[in-house]
Amino acid sequence: MRLFVNQLTILDFSYLHAERGLVGESWHVDIELAGGLDEQGMVLDFGDVKRQVKQLIDDSFDHRLLLPADYAGLQAQGNELTFLLQNGDRIRHRGPAESVQFIAGCEITPDNVAQAIHQALRPALPDNVRSVRLTLYPENIRDAWYQYSHGLKLHCGNCQRIAHGHRSRIEILRNGRADHALEKHWAEQFRDIYIGSEEDMVAITSHNDQSCFRFSYSAEQGDFELELPADRCYLIQTESTVENIARHIRELLEKKHPGDQFRVRAFEGIGKGAISETHNQS
């Protein structure tokens, strides 16, 4: 007998890639449990799946920086790590242990993350559950989208982790009509980008004659630091909440196109986000 729950949870996280660097991602998680029936006539109570199983997945993998443990260019010592990209770029991260998760393999893929989740789940499941199948996949987005990473030092939850991210849609209305050219422009602007607050950028450094930005702050979970090439960063004057990102895009559009009215619908991962509109719109 098999039990399934589609879209049990959504993982919003970032990972390190040998070519793309720091990448924000959002994946649905489907789960299928196979086994005998318990005394209730169930493989596992849906309430336990949605509560206990979902919580274990969220606690161990959501809002973390996922690291390919077998990648040759990854060096980790204590709470500090260095990741060398194939083109010679370097990314450095420092943070509490719970802000990262090592995944077996040379790259981060849905299959090896699913295997890591499976290994974490198996000891927590009752004996009648014989096997677990997990399917991880991104949202099917037809129009413009981008992948960004960020950290929110003032957040009381896991968003304070300096390198977590999202795969996000963007919708822009210009004078009441969709402007796909502007959507595509911002999707390209924010592709594989780190959106950082100017306040959190504490130094400009250099690696292989290339400028790097270093971000650092202290939050409830501990001290965080991230250093990466400047051309992989986008600076804003505020905290990089989705509300501020949507407003930032709208204000730049209004400045470039005076007299036009804009409605920016920026997503933060799947199914959630913020809307910012020109002030005199209803």
Strand order in the sheet with 65-68: 100-103, 65-68, 2-17, 21-35, 129-137
pLDDT tens for 7-20 read: 999 999 999 999 99
pLDDT tens for 205-226 read: 999 999 999 999 999 999 999 9
Q: Is 190 exposed, middle or buried (0-12, 13-18, 19+ CB in 10 A)?
A: buried
pLDDT tens for 166-186 read: 999 999 999 999 999 999 999
Strands, E assignment, the chain: 2-17, 21-35, 65-68, 74-77, 80-84, 90-94, 100-103, 129-137, 145-150, 164-174, 177-178, 193-197, 201-207, 210-219, 222-229, 233-236, 262-267, 273-277
Pairing of strands 2-17, 65-68: parallel
- pLDDT (0 to 100) of residue 281: 47
SS3 label, residue 53: helix
pLDDT tens for 37-60 read: 766 666 666 676 777 788 999 999
* Contact status, residue 32 vs residue 201, Cβ threshold 8 Å: no
- pLDDT (0 to 100) of residue 43: 61
DSSP 269: S
> How far is 272 from 269, CA to CA, in rounded Å?
7
- pLDDT (0 to 100) of residue 5: 86
Average pLDDT in the chain: 93
With a cut of 60, say whether residue 282 has pLDDT above it: no
SS3 label, residue 229: strand
Q: Write down the domain spans for the chain.
A: 2-137, 151-202+233-277
- pLDDT (0 to 100) of residue 279: 85
Alpha-carbon torsion 10, 14, 15, 17, what sign?
A: positive
Neighbours of 74 (CB within 10 A): 18
pLDDT tens for 88-143 read: 999 999 999 999 999 999 999 999 999 999 999 888 777 777 788 999 999 999 99
- pLDDT (0 to 100) of residue 39: 63
- pLDDT (0 to 100) of residue 128: 76
How does DSSP assign 142-177, residue by residue?
-S-EEEEEE--TT-SSGGGSSSEEEEEEEEEEETTE
Identify the CA nearest to 17 among candidates 136, 105, 107, 81.
107
Residue with tokens 């702050």: 217
Pairing of strands 177-178, 80-84: unpaired
Per CATH, the number for 2-137 is 3.30.479.10
Mean pLDDT of 145-165: 97
What number of CA atoms fall less than 13 Å from residue 76's CA on the CB side? 17
